[in-house]
Structure 1
């Protein structure tokens, strides 16, 4: 990866970066706002795209915030869940028999269907990179899709199966997790309702280096008010 300086965000998926004294365009693999992370002059790290014909020749992967590296690639959250599941790092999900990705349930495509001997476990994974004073928050932008997923999980739970939403915090400085109710109160209320119906929720954090990502364990989920 190459270190660079963040200049501005052109749109949700493209940013202007200063690399070796030149201004370039980089792909942002995350549709969240990330306004507190992507600030003028922030240190970022890029990886050159494998497709030389792509309009943006680099991917924006990491940013430094308060001395910690934060992973911006929201797609990695699903990969991390799959890896940690296979390595039995996620205690609520051990002893499964099989796992399938991107299963269509109702009108939504849910990230994982984890099968056990006597029941199925539907799991939706969310990537989190907003942390304020040790408190991780999701979402950092209104998410109708995320709310819809919670409703589908509740429906699945009502049919006698298990369902969970897993928040992967893509940085190490989180001590706990909560919903960002000021940003999207509907998501927070829908999650609380889902939990009251028996849907489960877990939050895990990881440490980020330029060499890789390491599992750092579960953090508590708290709700204010």
Structure 2
């Protein structure tokens, strides 16, 4: 890694010594993951009309691999649902992606069942770690994230289920908590959502240079948590 800039771009030096500019599929701060000189892993695209052939996928930080591609968590959570890792979510008859709901929003995963009704599943990518073993979210202020928590609460009050899933793309953690100091507004929205009946869980991924796989639930260290049933 040489640098990451303009949110969507990064410069890197390949093993061959070639200097390249690539696409960064993460608009967040990526706090702690953009240190110059860090080893990173890229996907390479050939053909088509892409402006940049390379995309950033993994970064080595704190002696572990960290997934930064925010296009992957929804699919990883679907895999976790299929594997039975998230309560009863795998028992719903239908699953849909990116369905409109709330005020000008789209839910990541919508589950529907004749007997169980609707379950709204919102997914957040997590890759921030400051203390050993503890993953935190968010790593910067996210007014959009707070809005999603409010809308999940609205769905519960309308008679549906709503689930907040934090997908942790690093394997060196066994606990999760909110980063309240970085975004107290988001933390307050989370607390309100729990009081309104929104459920929440955190899933850790196993990551190698060849594979990212949802592995297991980890403890969520938040008072008033409604665990996914």
Deviation at 1:175, TM superposition (A): 1.4
Q: 1:50 to 1:157 in 2, by over 3 A?
A: farther
- Which structure 2 residues correspond to residues 174-193 of structure 1 after superposition, within 5 A? 174-193=173-192
State the secondary structure of the residue aligned to 1:94. helix
Q: Specify whether residues 136 and 92 from structure 1 end up closer, same or farther in structure 2 by C-alpha distance, changes over 3 A only.
A: farther
- Displacement of 1:215 after TM fit? 2.6
Secondary structure, aligned partner of 1:127: strand
TM-score, normalised with respect to structure 1:
0.92
Q: Alpha-carbon deviation of 1:143?
A: 1.2
* Aligned equivalent of 2:110: 113
In the alignment, the residues of structure 2 paired with residue 187 and residue 160 of structure 1 have an alpha-carbon distance, to the nearest angstrom, of 24
Q: Runs of 4 or more off by more than 6 Å in structure 1?
A: none
TM-score, normalization by structure 2: 0.91
**Alpha-carbon distance in 2 for matches of 1:79, 1:48:** 20
Q: How far has the Cα of 1:136 moved from its partner?
A: 0.7
Match of 2:75 in 1: 79
Tell me if the contact between 1:177 and 1:221 (Cα under 8 Å) persists in the aligned partners: yes
Give the match for residue 49 of structure 1: 45
* Matched positions, count: 219
User: Is 1:130 aligned to 2:125, yes or no?
Assistant: no
Structure 1 distance, partners of 2:54, 2:48, is 10
User: Hey, what does 1:9 align to over in structure 2?
Assistant: 4
CA distance in 2, matches of 1:14, 1:61: 13
Contact 1:88 1:94 in 2 (8 A): yes
Q: Do 2:124 and 2:165's aligned partners in 1 also have CA atoms closer than 8 Å?
A: yes
Query: Once the 2 structures are TM-superposed, how far is the Cα of residue 83 of structure 1 from its aligned partner?
Result: 1.8
On the 8 A contact 1:123/1:163 being kept in 2, the answer is: yes
The residue number in structure 2 matching 1:3 is none
Counterpart of 1:157 in structure 2 is 156
Residue 168, structure 1, aligned to residue 163, structure 2: no
Deviation of 1:87 (Å): 2.9
What is the CA-CA distance between 1:129 and the residue it aligns to?
A: 0.6
Q: Retained in 2: the 8 A contact 1:131–1:173? A: no
Distance 1:62 1:160, change over 3 A: same
Shift of 1:216: 2.1
